[in-house]
Chains A and B, each alone.
Chain A
Amino acid sequence: MPEKVLMKGNEAIAEAAILAGCRHYFGYPITPQTEVAAYMSKRMPKIGGTFLQAESEIAAINMVYGVASTGKRAMTSSSSPGIALKCEGISYLAGADLPALIVNVQRGGPGLGGIQPSQSDYFLATRGPGHGDFHVLVLAPASVQEMADLTFKAFELADKYRMPAMLLADGTMGQMMEPVVLPAPAEHFIEKPWAVTGTECKRPHNIANSLFLLPEVLERMNFERFERYARVEEEEPMWESFLMEDAEICLVSFGITARVSRNAIVQARKEGLKAGMIRPKTLWPFPKKPLLEAAGKVKSFISVELSMGQMREDVELAVRCQKPVYLCNRTGGMIPTPEEVLQSIRKANEEGG
């Protein structure tokens, strides 16, 4: 059996990226994700990779663009205000159909905000972080194990669909340590005939570009890109159900709040309240199908999140407003206690559906 090791979430991201074949990391320090960069600075030189602390977040994301266009796996990591700076480059990556990983270990906002855990970049991540019509894959780990597994998965999905992926974690996930079994090193990589690697005078030039001045051409590219997105929405949503078989109240939560919700649900069950949870592991594509199915069975939903209700809108859309979707939230770096979530379950139970 593979060995379990004890790692911080941020370190698990870094090691899993290396195991996924990423040899190029570009970053700029910011709490609470700096351990990703620190880890990469130690490991990359030993394995012939690149660790580069750029002069800014914008420089780092454009370095990622450069490596991604050669078909190599590349990544950057930051936290909320730093991710906002990277958005220009993420849009360019999407416009050039380049795969890459962007890690966002979220902290409270808006503005410089605070440094404690948050999930308030939900809109930023799921609506396309940057200008123009596009999406990025958004994966939401809820344990150190998933910090590793979903980092690995993000690289695979990004390559498969030629689009950037964002790992949307939070300060708690980044800072905590848990036992983790690291994935086996990636062995199979898909062909990238589009990569800019030198033609050797044997084929036409490949160009990594997001500038298309002819509107007919740009429109066609956007239409085609969204056909690909439709496939992603059909095939790639990931979620975990917890005690949903007989649930009357369905909590929807990801990351640290899903962990807190789990405690609250266990407690609620002891009180005879039939609560369960659908925990999205991908936020884009959002797991609409299981939520819509649940809408036919449960009385109500509760969106438990560290924002002013950003995910709640997606839950309402997914269940087509068939059932009430209540909100249990904290923000600014605060995290609800299991007791607070339990209160909202009790309240939802009284209000019915």
Chain B
Amino acid sequence: MADNTNYEILIAGFGGQGLLFSGKVLAYAGLLEGRELSWLPSYGPEMRGGTANCNVILSDTPVGSPIVENPNVLMVMNGPSLDKYESAVTPGGMIFVDSSLISRKVMRDDVTVFYVPSTQMANEKGLSGLANMILLGALVYKTGCVKEETLAEALKKVIPARKAQLFDANMSALALGKEYVQA
């Protein structure tokens, strides 16, 4: 990546896939690492069944606009989001695709693409609903945008106390994604 200290991350897909949550985990990890950061969700009717997205900026300098126009990291979990944002990714950027939900390939040849069948993997491993975290595990491993240790700490903060039992499942999902792109 051209600039490996400033990450402009766009996470997009259907409402209900936990996209805002995965962005939140990244943002918290950034906070724990003392980075400059912003997290901006889409809001309104599109979140209810339509497309949803969130913008996360992690930087070593103060964040100007929190709006990510040209992500250097794109994570997509449905076809319409890939159609919409593929061309916006900066040359040399990375795209993480849930290939169980998106059948087509990325058409650009100036970006690095990782296809992870995360929804299918989640279902097979009994981690239904955690496809977002599988893809996030791949994203964090390949970009190095935050450290793996802080990611675990961040998860503890983001998962509400009454759902603490979900921590291990989330950690397994992150590990699965990492292993998949390591292989």
B69 touches A178 (CB 8 A): no
Verify if A116 is at the interface (C-beta below 8 Å from B).
yes
Q: What class of interface size applies to chain A in its complex with B? A: 20 to 34
User: Residue A50 at the B interface, CB < 8 A?
Assistant: no
Contact call A178/B38, Cβ cutoff below 8 A: yes
Q: Say which residue of B37, B38, B69 sits within 8 Å of A338 (CB atoms).
A: B69
Q: Is the CB of A178 within 8 A of B67?
A: no
A4 contacts the other chain (CB 8 A) = yes
Asked whether A177 is an interface residue with its Cβ less than 8 Å from the other chain, the reply is yes
A116 B69 Cβ-Cβ under 8 A: no
> A38: CB under 8 A from chain B?
no
A349 on the B face (CB < 8 A): no
| Separation of A184 and B112 alpha carbons in the complex (Å) | 47
Query: B64 an interface residue at 8 Å Cβ cutoff?
Result: yes
Interface mask (A165-181 → B, CB under 8 Å = 1, otherwise 0): 00000011001111100
Q: Does A312 contact B (CB under 8 A)?
A: no
Number of interface residues, chain B, beta carbon within 8 A: 18
Q: In the assembly, what is the distance between CA of A337 and CA of B37, in Å?
A: 19
Q: Does B31 contact A (CB under 8 A)?
A: yes
Counting CB contacts under 8 A, is B66 at the interface? yes
A115 touching B27 by the CB < 8 A rule? no
Q: Do residues B43 and A32 form an inter-chain contact, with CB atoms below 8 A?
A: yes
The residues of A that contact B126 with a CB separation of less than 8 Å are none
A132 to B102 alpha-carbon distance, docked (Å): 59
Known: A31-B43, A177-B39, A179-B37. A6 touches B66 (CB 8 A): no
Is the Cβ of B64 less than 8 Å from the Cβ of A6?
Answer: no
A337, B38: Cβ atoms closer than 8 Å: no
| Cα distance A259–B63 in the bound complex, in angstroms | 8
Q: Which residues of B contact A5 (CB under 8 A)?
A: 31
A137 to B38, CA, bound (A): 28
Question: Chain B residues near A338 (CB, 8 Å)?
Answer: 64-65, 69
Task: List B residues 124-161 near A (Cβ within 8 Å).
Answer: none
Determine chain A's interface SS by DSSP, over half rule.
mixed
List residues of chain A with CB within 8 A of the CB of B65.
256, 259-260, 262-263, 338
Secondary structure of the B side of the interface?
A: mixed
- Does A335 have its Cβ within 8 Å of any Cβ on chain B? yes
Assuming A31-B43, A31-B44, A171-B43, is B64 touching A178 (CB within 8 A)? Answer: no
- In angstroms, Cα B65 to Cα A256, docked, is 7
Whether A172 lies near B28 (C-beta < 8 A) is: no
CB of A244 within 8 A of chain B?
no
Interface string of A208-224 (1 = CB under 8 A from B): 00000000000000000
For residue B40, CB closer than 8 A to chain A, the reply is yes
Residues of B within 8 A of A44 (CB): none
Question: Which of chain B's residues has its CB closest to A174's CB?
Answer: B43
> How far is the CB of B150 from the nearest CB of chain A, in Å?
13
CA distance A171 to B44 in the complex (A): 11
Closest Cβ of chain B: how far from A38's Cβ, in Å? Answer: 14
A-B contact pairs, 16 of them (CB 8 A): A6-B28, A32-B43, A115-B43, A115-B44, A171-B43, A175-B40, A176-B39, A176-B40, A178-B37, A179-B37, A256-B66, A260-B64, A337-B67, A338-B65, A338-B69, A339-B69
Chain A residues close to B by CB (< 8 Å):
4-6, 31-32, 115-116, 171-172, 175-179, 256, 259-260, 262-263, 266, 335, 337-339
Further contacts, 16 of them, CB under 8 A, given A172-B67, A260-B65, A338-B69: A31-B43, A32-B44, A116-B44, A175-B41, A176-B66, A177-B39, A178-B63, A179-B36, A179-B37, A259-B63, A259-B64, A259-B65, A260-B64, A262-B64, A337-B69, A339-B69
